[in-house]
Amino acid sequence: MSLLADAGHNLSDVLGLAGAWLAQVLATRPSSARFTYGLRRSTILSALANATILLLVTGGIVWESVLRLFSHEMVQGEIISWVALVGIAVNTVTALLFMKGASNDLNIRGAFLHMAADAVMAFSVVIAGLLISFTGYTIIDPIMSLIVSASIVAGTWSLLRHSLDLALDAVPAGIDPGAVQTALLSVEGVSGLHHLHIWAMSTTETALTVHLLCDPAHPVSPDRIIASAAALLRTQFDIAHPTFQLETQPSVCDTHQPCC
């Protein structure tokens, strides 16, 4: 069961890698009349699907492992250890391939964390196989599979939460809406703002829309306000897809509505 738990994790990772690769390809497709933002969000959906599938597979392994705790099955510890050693080598090499892009892309980070976790889990399976070989206690197998499964859930929960947040248009982690609002209010010619929305277009791109109230006491050309605000968002918050609506008086927009 411990080897099956690790193998199930590896299978889900292969599917996750395929999904991550497909999402990256789709994200590069240009926008169209129907998909005006292109298919960038597919990277978020890939990360979410990756985490969901992994948790479902792990749940099945946990169920079977609990049943095995009460029924003693013959287990060959040597075979478990040798197969797990192969898994360590494959997972380590694969994880290294994703290390470079894991710091700034949730989609790639999900793949990297799974490969790295697989290498660690495979090592624990090697230990389990050796213990079974020397002690003959087959109950070590389901116990180790439960430990592996718990580690998988712990490592996957963060990916699931972050990808679900992005899928629900939450403000991406690392961006403080209050800081964005303060920065926009510092732009020359801006006296107020409302309807500020920040969301992820993909796992690496962030979009923003906001209504800016122009200061009548210090008139500045609209082009200058937009250019200054866009440059500020790009340099300080890495927001490269802003949309601004300039207003000369609050009555132009109904600020009591969530959007206008």
Per-residue 3-state assignment (H helix, E strand, C coil) for 94-131: HHHHHCHHHHCCHHHHHHHHHHHHHHHHHHHHHHHHHH
* pLDDT of the residue at 92: 74
CA distances from 14 to 47, 49, 50, 53, 154 (A): 13, 13, 10, 11, 20
* pLDDT of the residue at 102: 57
* pLDDT of the residue at 80: 65
* pLDDT of the residue at 223: 92
CA angle 183, 186, 189 (to 5 degrees): 135
Q: How far apart are CA 187 and CA 206, in angstroms?
A: 20
Q: Specify whether the CB–CB gap between 60 and 7 falls below 8 A.
A: no
For residue 13, give the nearest of 90, 79, 83 by alpha carbon: 90
At 226, list the tokens: 């937009």
φ, ψ for residue 212, nearest 5 deg:
-105, 130
Q: Mean pLDDT per segment of 10 residues, for the chain of length 260 residues?
A: 60 70 80 81 83 79 76 63 71 69 61 69 75 76 78 80 88 92 93 92 89 86 93 93 87 54
* pLDDT of the residue at 229: 95
What DSSP character marks residue 172? P
At 37, is the secondary structure helix, strand, or coil? Answer: coil
* pLDDT of the residue at 134: 78
* pLDDT of the residue at 210: 94
The predicted model scores a pTM of 0.69
Q: Longest C-alpha distance within the chain, in Å?
A: 85
CA angle 170, 49, 34 (to 5 degrees): 65
